[in-house]
Amino acid sequence: MSVVIGSESRPLRVAIIGSGPSGFYAAESLLKNSEIISEVDMFEYLPTPYGLVRAGVAPDHQQIKSVSKVYDKIASMDRFRFWGNVQFGNDITREELLDTFDAIIYAIGAQSDRAMGIDGETKIGSHSATEFVAWYNGHPDYKETLFDLSHERAVIVGMGNVALDIARVLALTPEEIAKTDIPHHVQEQLSSSNIKEICLVARRGPLQAAFTNTGTKEIPELEGAVAVVDPEELKLENNTAEILKDSNDKKMIQNLQFLESISENQPDPSKRTIRFLFRRSPQEILGGDHVTGLSFVVNELFTDDEGKIHQTMTEDLETLDCGLVFRSVGYKVKPIDGIQFDAKRGTIANVEGRVIHAETSETQRGEYVVGWAKRGASGVIGTNKPDSIATVDKLLEDLPSWTGEPLVRSQAETVKTLLDSKEIHYVPFEDWKIIEKAEHEEGAVREKPREKFVTVHDMISVIKAEKLG
């Protein structure tokens, strides 16, 4: 007997994969809907929720991290369940979820970094932004990653907010680091760093810098660093100067104001230097096994027929000696079997959030995507709210064409039985709160916002210890 889905007796059952902002906003949109009764089960790889809010937002941006309180409220809603420490594709498969739920929403972010596609990218000392950001934020998978901070210069390729986050973190003094929630082992390594100069390198000009003032505004306040840019770097080509003249682009104008404000600065030998370089494309990472430098080709800019600014290479080459190279040139999603990957955008292939089948290229019944996995790595945390609501609206548009079997037992029991049958040690939201409480307590001892657990083992141990009393 088929029944209508979305009623009290037969709620809409939705699995959300990932517990970052886009996943929580999708859950909220479903659970707040007054016409459709939904149950939401959120599956998260780590025992800890909040995705990039915990593992991506820079640790000197604690104010931004406080958005997690909004997600706690969503997690406290009726019919919401959190299953942490459950790896999608391994502990629970797509097929199992399709059998158990009416719909899946992928909120998996864009976890792979884009490569620069140049020689030497795999040398020791060449890292993705992903690795470094995850390491300084205490992601358990990156606890053992080694960064050689003994060299005097680090180069960051790319000029977005992630590049600026990395530059700021590398520039923090031990005192500034101590006020953040950077884990203790990272704090020790950063505090003894030998880095004197951090270079950020963009392939286009200052007007095309991708960062915003959320990344630059603290730079002048850094106690142990001075930001510099050679005034020559800020000279605008005729075509781009015209763009500026007619522009209302707030980000572009603010970025230029920031760069002009630092153009009179001189390096201070008692401080670190953060140097901005423009119109240079990376050519090759130099060295033997270890990075010793990065060569660049100098670019010129031109405007295409649609008014977009591109770079074209000149014959001029430059080299920067350095021991560390970070590529911060964007992210792409990790592909999922059975679902089409959009290689150009680095996303799960989708039409307005409806996922596309790998072979048929048609939209896949009951599978949806939100956040970076839907639109690519762009926007700020708040961008995810309307984005997730838009996808949930598509799901609810599709719902009237679905019917389902009546439930023989509660969805909570079904999921629990499935995970128990595989002996998965899942972490419900109340157990995450035990982890969080212990992190805050240890943080208070160390006079910092929290001291993060950086192994899953330690997280599970503290839950067990609390429950044993």
Of 204-212, 232-240, 414-422, 424-432, which part binds ligand NAP (CB under 6 A)? Answer: 204-212
Residue 215 makes contact with ligand NAP by CB under 6 A: yes
Residue 59 makes contact with ligand NAP by CB under 6 A: no
Minimum distance from residue 348 beta carbon to ligand NAP (Å): 17
Scanning the structure block, which residue is given the tokens 């945390």? 381
Indicate which single residue of 104, 162, 291, 297 sits in contact with ligand NAP (rule: CB under 6 A): 162
Indicate which single residue of 224, 330, 338, 443 sits in contact with ligand NAP (rule: CB under 6 A): 330
Residue 287 makes contact with ligand NAP by CB under 6 A: no
Residue 163 makes contact with ligand NAP by CB under 6 A: yes
Q: Per CB under 6 A, which of residues 104..123 are in contact with ligand NAP?
A: 116
Residue 100 makes contact with ligand NAP by CB under 6 A: no
Query: Using alpha carbons only, how large is the chain's radius of gyration in Å?
Result: 24
Of 201-209, 216-224, 271-279, 293-301, which part binds ligand NAP (CB under 6 A)? Answer: 201-209
Look at the chain and count its residues. 469
Distance of CA 314 to the CA centre of its chain: 34
Of 11-19, 134-142, 328-336, 416-424, which part binds ligand NAP (CB under 6 A)? Answer: 328-336
Scanning the structure block, which residue is given the tokens 């896949």? 364
Task: Return the number of the residue (117 or 469) whose C-beta is nearest ligand NAP.
Answer: 117
Minimum distance from residue 302 beta carbon to ligand NAP (Å): 13
Indicate which single residue of 180, 216, 299, 328 sits in contact with ligand NAP (rule: CB under 6 A): 328
Residue 214 makes contact with ligand NAP by CB under 6 A: yes
Cβ proximity of 170 and 177 under 8 Å: no
Minimum distance from residue 386 beta carbon to ligand NAP (Å): 15
With helix as H, strand as E and coil as C, how does the chain read?
Answer: CCEECCCCCCCEEEEEECCCHHHHHHHHHHHCCCCCCEEEEEECCCCCCCCHHHHCCCCCCHHHHCCHHHHHHHHCCCCEEEEECCCECCCECHHHHHHHCCEEEECCCCCEECCCCCECCCCECEEEHHHHHHHHCCCHHHCCCCCCCCCCEEEEECCCHHHHHHHHHHHCCHHHHHCCCCCHHHHHHHHCCCCCEEEEECCCCHHHCCCCHHHHCCHHHCCCEEEECCHHHHCCCHHHHHHHHCCCCHHHHHHHHHHHHHCCCCCCCCCEEEEEECCEEEEEEECCCECCEEEEEEEEEEECCCCCEEEEEEEEEEEEECCEEEECCCEECCCCCCECEECCCCEECEECCEEEECCCCCEEEEEEECCHHHHCCCCCHHHHHHHHHHHHHHHHHHHHHCEECCCCCCHHHHHHHHHHHCCCCCECHHHHHHHHHHHHHHHHHCCCCCCCCCCHHHHHHHHHHHHHC
In the stretch 257-286, what mask flags binding to ligand NAP with x, by CB under 6 A?
------------------------xx----
Minimum distance from residue 333 beta carbon to ligand NAP (Å): 13
Task: Return the number of the residue (113 or 431) whose C-beta is nearest ligand NAP.
Answer: 113
Of 34-42, 161-169, 177-185, 414-422, which part binds ligand NAP (CB under 6 A)? Answer: 161-169
Minimum distance from residue 376 beta carbon to ligand NAP (Å): 8
In the stretch 370-389, what mask flags binding to ligand NAP with x, by CB under 6 A?
-------xxxx---------
Indicate which single residue of 42, 199, 210, 373 sits in contact with ligand NAP (rule: CB under 6 A): 210
Residue 165 makes contact with ligand NAP by CB under 6 A: yes
Please give the residue whose beta carbon sits closest to ligand NAP in the complex: 160
Minimum distance from residue 132 beta carbon to ligand NAP (Å): 12
Name the residue among 340, 321, 343, 323 with its Cα closest to residue 332. 343
Of 158-166, 226-234, 288-296, 404-412, which part binds ligand NAP (CB under 6 A)? Answer: 158-166
Task: Return the number of the residue (187 or 328) whose C-beta is nearest ligand NAP.
Answer: 328
Q: Per CB under 6 A, which of residues 15..44 are in contact with ligand NAP?
A: none
Which residues are at the interface with ligand NAP (CB under 6 A)?
Answer: 116, 157-163, 165, 202-204, 208, 210, 212, 214-215, 281-282, 328-331, 377-380
